[in-house]
Structure 1
């Protein structure tokens, strides 16, 4: 698989503060990567370093397998790492023509990109009349004018309402389906789970996980189980090979599963042990549960 970006032990320190600490990961062509972490985890700083706007303290990175200089690589990258910044009185076409002039690229793709982000009908409306979601979509259009090999987005849905988030998500999925590699930073688990194929989890500048979303979310889930005699139930659970850590809650025991198990069998085995269950419910562990477990540890 062709490597778009290779990051090796990249760090950025501000005095004693380690904004990014020895982070290493690879971005391969044709995937959608999410850098996931709470505010202050180092997402934006990492993007800033690979886009040559923040100087690393140590470590290295290379674009396109090291065959392209950083200067030339930037011509093959589309990026939005700040709030959309266009001239308020100019319309979409005028603003994008100016972007083309600055980037020294053709204006031929303007209408095509406006159609892709669903702004073609508003192409002659002044930028100041756009909603926040429309402004963000225009920024995406501007980042796509050079048909980049990779699109980098920093918190693309930040501040948007649910409809605006859904619109941006659909656009990202459409762009990815056309073969463009995407790297986005987000603190929204739902966004990463629905859009990304791979995830990099950061916390306080350190990387906790890097790999496919489905692998991070690959688990056996848990069960919520209860009975009138909780003491006997607790002893029963200790003898079951499928039962991992057990948490005592108001609604019963939440048991992390170590293997696949049929709830019908659990019920039958409990009954055979003289336990009548009052509650038995399967719960699949979500990406949010995995993320919280990672960051708490």
Structure 2
């Protein structure tokens, strides 16, 4: 599978502050990648470096398997790393025509891209009449004008209401379904979970994880279990290969799972050990739980 972007030990200092600390990862063609982390984790600085607007302190990166210069690579990339900046009194079409002129792009695709972001019916409306979500969608249309092989978005849903967030999410999924590789930075865990196939997790500039979203944490969730004789239940669980840490609560025991296990099998094993379970609930760990657990590690 073609490598769109390869980052190798990329590092950025601002004086004594380390914004990005020697991170390395690859972006493969056709995937949707999320750079996930709280504010100040280094997401925007990373995007700025690979888009040649921020100079790395050390390390390097290559676009399209190193077969093209950074200057030529930028012609194959669509990116939004700042707030949409269009002329307020000009319509969507007029603003996009100007973008085409500046970037030497054929303007024939303007209506096609406005259709993708569901703004065709408002193409003659002044930009100043647009909602925040519409402005963001117009920015995406602008980034799509050159039919990029990869679309880069920095916090694309920041400040939007739930309806606006869903619209942007649907657009991203539609663009990805047509084969465009996408790289988006976000602090919204739900956004990454619903949109991305792969994720890079940053904290204080350090990379904590890189890989498929579903494998971000190999924890298999927890079971909440109880029985009349909790001491016997605790002893029973200690010897099970699937049982990790066991935490006592007022209403039973919480057991971290090291591997997948069927509730029916747990119930059967307990019964054969003379333990009648009064509670057995399995809770899969959400991406939010995984992210918090990951970023709380030292």
Range class of TM-score, shorter chain = over 0.9
Task: Tell me if 1:238 matches 2:238.
Answer: yes
The corresponding residue for 2:259 is 259
The corresponding residue for 1:120 is 120
The corresponding residue for 2:69 is 69
Superposition pairs of residues 103-118 of structure 1, within 5 angstroms: 103-118=103-118
Partners in 2 of 1:137 and 1:187 — Cα distance? 19
Query: SS of the residue aligned with 1:108?
Result: helix
Partners in 2 of 1:237 and 1:276 — Cα distance? 13
Superposition pairs of residues 16-165 of structure 1, within 5 angstroms: 16-165=16-165
Partners in 2 of 1:263 and 1:5 — Cα distance? 43
Asked whether the 8 Å contact 1:237–1:243 carries over to 2, the reply is: yes
The corresponding residue for 1:173 is 173
Asked whether the 8 Å contact 2:155–2:185 carries over to 1, the reply is: yes
Partners in 2 of 1:249 and 1:53 — Cα distance? 52
> Is there any run of 5+ residues in structure 2 with no aligned partner, and where?
none
**Superposition deviation, residue 294 in structure 1:** 1.3
Asked whether the 8 Å contact 1:198–1:213 carries over to 2, the reply is: yes
Query: SS of the residue aligned with 1:118?
Result: coil
Q: CA RMSD in A?
A: 1.3
> Is there any run of 5+ residues in structure 1 with no aligned partner, and where?
none
**Superposition deviation, residue 219 in structure 1:** 4.4
* TM-score normalised by L of structure 2: 0.96
Superposition pairs of residues 182-221 of structure 1, within 5 angstroms: 182-216=182-216, 219-221=219-221
Q: Deviations over 1:250-275 (max 9, x none)?
A: 43211111223222232233233333
Asked whether the 8 Å contact 1:35–1:43 carries over to 2, the reply is: yes
Q: Deviations over 1:226-262 (max 9, x none)?
A: 2233223222211222211122234321111122322
Residues 279 and 32 of structure 1, relative CA distance in 2, 3 Å threshold? same
Number of residue equivalences? 297
Partners in 2 of 1:253 and 1:48 — Cα distance? 47
Asked whether the 8 Å contact 1:217–1:286 carries over to 2, the reply is: no
Query: SS of the residue aligned with 2:158?
Result: coil
Residues 117 and 217 of structure 1, relative CA distance in 2, 3 Å threshold? farther
Partners in 2 of 1:12 and 1:250 — Cα distance? 48
Q: Deviations over 1:169-205 (max 9, x none)?
A: 1100110111111100011111111111111111110
Partners in 2 of 1:8 and 1:128 — Cα distance? 42
Runs of 4+ that moved beyond 6 A? none
Superposition pairs of residues 2-13 of structure 1, within 5 angstroms: 2-13=2-13
Q: Deviations over 1:76-112 (max 9, x none)?
A: 1110001111111111001101111111111111000
